[in-house]
Amino acid sequence: MDYKQIKATCKTADLEKMTAVMSMIDNGLMIEDYSDIDETFKNVYADLIDDELLAADKSVASVSVFVSEERHPEESVYFLKERIAAEKLDCKLEIIDVSDEDWENSWKQYYHPIKVGERIVIVPAWEKYEKKDNELTLIMDPGMAFGAGTHETTRLVMTEIEKYITDGCTVLDVGTGSGILSIAASLLGASSVNAYDIDPTAVRIAKENAVINKCDNIKVDVSDLLSNVEKKQYDLICANIVADIIIRMSGDLYKFAHKGSIFIASGILSERKDEVLENMKKTPFVPVSEETENGWCVLVFRYA
């Protein structure tokens, strides 16, 4: 199968943000960062390191994601350009051809069933899993769009969805990616879920995943944030995107909520948490709780 390597080169200081953006395409990333090769490291391991690596520019780093031709790499590039612009990142995007018949299956050995929260178990499509009492199995292919359950932001927001969802509630999923949050909400008892993403590839994949999980109450469509969202009041709104995008859409959230509605925001780097909280003070939503994991933060708000 033919692949395109989409490589983003940026300043080393921006690597964490760039990695977060690239993760929205796929969790299987290749990161090139030589900033940790300091003088002490050189002195101890110089004989084991290639001279080219020793001489590498430590002020820049790169993140690569591999996208099959079947997933229309050009759509992923368009999506990345949109997110990179939103984050105001200075980076260079390169498209490189990759041919490897084994690429599609070689990484599958690293993915196994993952339990998230109290009930949801994310099961790779090729694995067999016997669920225990009260568990809900969510079938997912980690090679698809962003959201396989392995990333901290996905686990954080899914755990909060489980806490706040109620039987028969309505859910809005902004920036759905693989559709994993919408599927979790459906399995946990939501009566209807409206999911949106700016990337047509993600929309297609989310629809496919909803079918695999037999969630026929999920509606998926293309939308730039809230621009094309069905105008109704939702009981629970979730957005696993990035801080700048959450801030950008926060002023319009009230149009899709009612008193008591829950808004769960994830994909936020911990150092930007206060910025999001400060911005949300301008809205009718008040903070309820927050959780962090490995430098990532999820914030929960309630429409007061």
pLDDT, tens digit (0-9, with 9 covering 90-100), for 143-178: 444 445 557 788 899 999 999 999 999 999 999 988
**pLDDT value of residue 44:** 36
Instruction: Quote the tokens at residue 134.
Output: 């009260």
Nearest to 237 by CA among 255, 223, 221, 222: 255
Report the C-alpha gap between 74 and 38 in whole angstroms.
38
Residue 28 DSSP code:
-
**pLDDT value of residue 111:** 66
pLDDT tens column, 80-99: 888 888 888 899 998 887 75
Nearest to 265 by CA among 251, 250, 254, 281: 250
Share of the chain above pLDDT 90, in %: 48
**CATH 3.40.50.150 domain span(s) along the chain:** 152-303
Mean pLDDT lowest for which of 7-11, 110-114, 245-249, 274-278?
110-114
Paired strand residues for 297: 268, 292
Nearest to 265 by CA among 183, 279, 224, 124: 279
Output the average pLDDT for the chain.
Answer: 84
Q: What is the largest CA-CA distance in the chain?
A: 65
Mean pLDDT lowest for which of 4-13, 129-138, 148-157?
148-157
Distance of CA 290 to the CA centre of its chain: 18
| pLDDT of 266 higher than 60 | yes
When the candidates are 3.30.420, 3.30.310, 2.30.110, 3.30.70, the CATH number that belongs to 2-105 is 3.30.70
pTM beyond cutoff 0.85: no
Nearest to 3 by CA among 101, 140, 110, 148: 101
Mean pLDDT of 270-280: 94
Residue 136, CA distances (Å) to 15, 114, 115, 128, 173 in order: 35, 12, 10, 14, 20
pLDDT confidence band for 48 (50 / 70 / 90): very low
Mean pLDDT of 130-147: 73
| pLDDT of 49 higher than 50 | no
pLDDT tens column, 236-264: 999 998 888 899 999 999 999 999 999 99
β-strands 296-303, 285-293 pairing: antiparallel
**pLDDT value of residue 252:** 95
Please provide the DSSP assignment of 81-99 as one string.
HHHHHHTT--EEEEEEEEE
pLDDT confidence band for 1 (50 / 70 / 90): low
Mean pLDDT lowest for which of 4-18, 70-84, 256-270?
70-84
Is residue 288 a contact partner of residue 298, using CB atoms and an 8 Å limit?
no
| pLDDT of 109 higher than 90 | no
Share of the chain above pLDDT 70, in %: 85
Mean pLDDT lowest for which of 119-133, 255-269, 277-291?
119-133
Mean pLDDT lowest for which of 1-15, 98-112, 181-195?
98-112
| pLDDT of 122 higher than 60 | yes
Report the C-alpha gap between 190 and 202 in whole angstroms.
21
Report the C-alpha gap between 87 and 242 in whole angstroms.
8
**CATH 3.30.70 domain span(s) along the chain:** 2-105
- The superfamily in CATH containing domain 152-303 is Vaccinia Virus protein VP39 (3.40.50.150)
Query: Helix count (H) and strand count (E) of the chain?
Result: 10, 14
| pLDDT of 215 higher than 90 | yes
Report the C-alpha gap between 264 and 286 in whole angstroms.
11
